[in-house]
């Protein structure tokens, strides 16, 4: 079924009577050369520059649908809003606007058509602009109501996508806008060439990628692959295997229930509770892990590393920053722990009841020192380094010795202290609260940005 616009064109000024949803700005696209909005600042500019008289039109329609089916929606351009309802049908409304001062404004509206067809798996929806002889700007907003128990396969050539709670799966893609997805009852795949991605809870696996925006998620029940070329990544919880990477932003994961790989070329990495292997690498930022409960490998070129509640084997290295680690008892470290810094200090806190052996070394012994708590019997030795400097090696044993913790720094000091269990619990709670508050603050900032986009919409 194909719809063309006819006989419903009017001129108006100001904001359209058809809104663009809770978190979206209707973007302007030049039909002869489509341009996607790629960020908040550009969105603001677009909204400010396109106030004035408009011609507008609407296309509407309805199709029968059943629970468990799929909406396959493709449009050349425009914002997409998916709403859910408890009914056996799909309703849609397409709102079009053009600059009334352009000579081809009305023709632009007529050139945009909608085609809908029932398919074996659900409904196919196609929005496209035919006839390239008209020039000017066209704003498109596609609003579709689908049954709540439905699957989504939605894409736009340039615009924002917003979707309410869906019981099925969701595949959403845009060439340049933001994606805001509510709860997903199955797996989700979200991609944009340059906007932000926000999704609440996902009951299956999640794959999300953006060319430069931020990625923010709630709880992910399955595996997760999240990537941005430059924005921040914030995850409340992921139960499956997770690989999160960014070209330069920060990474925050409040809870990891399985293996976690986190990478950034220059930002900070913060992880709350972990239950599996953790690998974290940054080109220059700091790394903080609140609870280390699985084998952990951390690496930063120049930032500091802060670890709370370490009860598993951990390897951590930094080129220039400090390393602080709080170990807990009973420890379940099947292998050695190694903490290494090129120029920073290393400070470790050991529970008084933990059987452990500390092997600590500093280079340039005349300038830097190893300091042990008096509870440790120690043995000090000196070794010549290949460059002519001297290594000072101090071995300390607590409770008869146990798993070995190796500490190495070239141009820093090493401090080994005995910690109090109550202080350890207090510190853990404090660190988790700080991380949770930070994630909540970042989410509020994204919501404020979305509201600003609405206020600046044409």
15 lies in the same domain as 161: yes
Cα distances (angstroms) measured from residue 304 to each of 45, 267, 286: 39, 12, 5
Domain stops at, among 112, 140, 165: 165
Helices 421-455 and 40-49: angle between axes, nearest 10 degrees: 20
Q: In which element (H, E) is residue 125 found?
A: strand 122-129
- Strand, helix or coil for residue 177: coil
**What residue numbers bound the domain in which 152 lies?**
2-165
Q: Is residue 100 part of a domain?
A: yes
Asked if residue 190 lies in contact with residue 170, where contact means CB atoms within 8 angstroms, the answer is: yes
Torsion sign across C-alpha atoms 383, 385, 388, 390:
negative
Is beta strand 89-99 parallel, antiparallel or unpaired with respect to 137-147?
Answer: antiparallel
Q: Is residue 101 part of a domain?
A: yes
Q: Is residue 73 part of a domain?
A: yes
Q: Is residue 45 part of a domain?
A: yes
Q: In which element (H, E) is residue 99 found?
A: strand 89-99
DSSP string, 351-413: ETT--EEEEEEEESTTT--EEE-TTS-EEEEEEE-TTS-EEEEEEEEETT--EEEEEEESSS-
11 lies in the same domain as 156: yes
Confidence (pLDDT) at 33:
27
Exposure of 86 in the CB half-sphere (CA atoms within 13 A): 0
As a whole number of angstroms, the distance between CA 259 and CA 91 comes to: 42
The domain tally of the chain equals 2
This prediction's pTM: 0.82
Give 111-156 pLDDT, tens digit per residue: 999 999 999 999 999 999 886 677 788 999 999 999 999 999 999 9
159 lies in the same domain as 291: no
What is the torsion angle, in degrees rounded to the nearest 10, for the CA atoms of residue 19, residue 24, residue 30 and residue 32?
Answer: -100
Asked if residue 182 lies in contact with residue 165, where contact means CB atoms within 8 angstroms, the answer is: yes
* Cβ burial 199-230 (10 Å sphere, 16+ → b, else e): bebbbbbbbbbbbbbbbbbbbbbbbbbbbbbb
Q: Is residue 218 part of a domain?
A: no
Token pair for 96? 């079009």
Domain stops at, among 113, 143, 165: 165
Q: Is residue 63 part of a domain?
A: yes
Domain stops at, among 110, 132, 165: 165
Q: Is residue 172 part of a domain?
A: no
10 lies in the same domain as 156: yes
pLDDT in tens, the chain (458 residues): 555 443 333 333 222 222 322 222 232 222 222 323 333 344 333 444 455 788 999 999 999 999 999 999 999 999 999 999 888 899 999 999 999 988 888 999 999 999 999 999 999 999 998 866 777 889 999 999 999 999 999 999 999 999 999 999 999 999 989 999 999 999 999 999 999 999 999 999 999 999 989 999 999 999 999 999 999 999 999 999 999 999 999 999 999 999 999 999 999 999 998 888 999 999 989 999 988 888 899 999 989 999 988 888 899 999 999 999 988 876 555 678 999 999 999 999 998 888 999 999 998 656 788 999 999 999 988 877 666 677 888 999 999 998 899 999 988 999 999 887 566 556 656 665 666 666 666 666 655 655 554 444 44
- All residues at 6 or more sequence positions from 437 whose CB lies less than 8 Å from its CB, including other chains: none
- All residues at 6 or more sequence positions from 118 whose CB lies less than 8 Å from its CB, including other chains: 63, 64, 124
Specify whether the backbone of 217 is left (phi greater than 0), alpha (psi in -120 to 50) or beta: beta
Q: Is residue 232 part of a domain?
A: no
Beta pairing partners, 340: 317, 408
* Cβ burial 366-395 (10 Å sphere, 16+ → b, else e): eebebebbeebebeeeeeeeeeeeebbbbb
H-type alpha helices, 16-113: 40-49, 105-111
């Amino acid at each position: 079924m194909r719809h063309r616009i006819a006989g419903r064109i009017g001129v108006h000024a100001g904001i359209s009577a058809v809104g663009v949803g809770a978190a979206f700005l209707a973007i302007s696209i030049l039909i002869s050369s489509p341009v996607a909005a790629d960020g908040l600042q550009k969105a603001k500019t677009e909204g400010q520059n396109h106030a004035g008289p408009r011609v507008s039109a609407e296309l509407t329609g309805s199709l029968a649908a059943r629970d468990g089916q799929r909406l396959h929606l493709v449009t050349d351009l425009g914002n997409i809003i998916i709403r859910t309802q408890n009914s056996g049908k799909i309703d849609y409304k397409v709102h079009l606007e053009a600059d009334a001062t352009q000579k081809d404004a009305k023709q632009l509206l007529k050139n945009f058509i909608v085609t809908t067809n029932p398919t074996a798996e659900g409904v196919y929806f196609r929005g496209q602009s035919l006839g390239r002889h008209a020039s000017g700007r066209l704003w498109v907003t596609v609003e579709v109501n689908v049954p709540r128990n439905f699957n989504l396969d939605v894409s736009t050539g340039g615009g924002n996508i917003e979707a309410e709670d869906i019981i099925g799966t969701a595949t959403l893609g845009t060439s340049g806008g933001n994606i805001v997805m509510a709860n997903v009852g199955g797996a989700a795949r979200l991609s944009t060439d340059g906007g932000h991605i926000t999704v609440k809870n996902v009951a299956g696996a999640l794959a999300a990628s953006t060319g430069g925006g931020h990625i923010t998620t709630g709880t992910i029940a399955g595996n997760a692959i999240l990537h941005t070329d430059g924005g921040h990544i914030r995850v409340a919880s992921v139960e499956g295997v997770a690989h999160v990477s960014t070209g330069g932003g920060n990474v925050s994961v409040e809870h990891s229930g399985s293996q976690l790989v986190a990478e950034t070329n220059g930002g900070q990495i913060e992880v709350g509770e972990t239950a599996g292997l953790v690998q974290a690498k940054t080109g220059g930022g700091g790394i903080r892990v609140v609870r280390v409960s699985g084998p952990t490998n951390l690496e930063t070129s120049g930032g500091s590393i802060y670890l709370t509640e370490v009860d598993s084997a951990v390897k951590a290295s930094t080129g220039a920053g400090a390393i602080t680690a709080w170990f807990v008892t009973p420890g379940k470290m099947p292998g050695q722990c190694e903490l290494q810094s090129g120029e920073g200090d290393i400070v470790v806190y050991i529970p008084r009841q933990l059987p452990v052996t500390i092997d600590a070394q500093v280079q340039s012994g005349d300038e830097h020192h190893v300091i042990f708590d008096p509870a440790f019997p120690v043995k000090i030795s000196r070794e010549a380094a290949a460059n002519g400097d001297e290594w000072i090696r101090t071995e300390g044993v607590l409770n008869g010795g146990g798993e070995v913790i190796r500490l190495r720094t070239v141009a820093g000091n090493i401090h080994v202290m005995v910690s109090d269990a109550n202080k350890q619990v207090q510190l853990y709670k404090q660190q988790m609260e700080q991380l949770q508050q930070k994630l909540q603050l970042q989410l509020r900032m994204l919501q404020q940005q979305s509201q600003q986009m609405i206020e600046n919409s044409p």
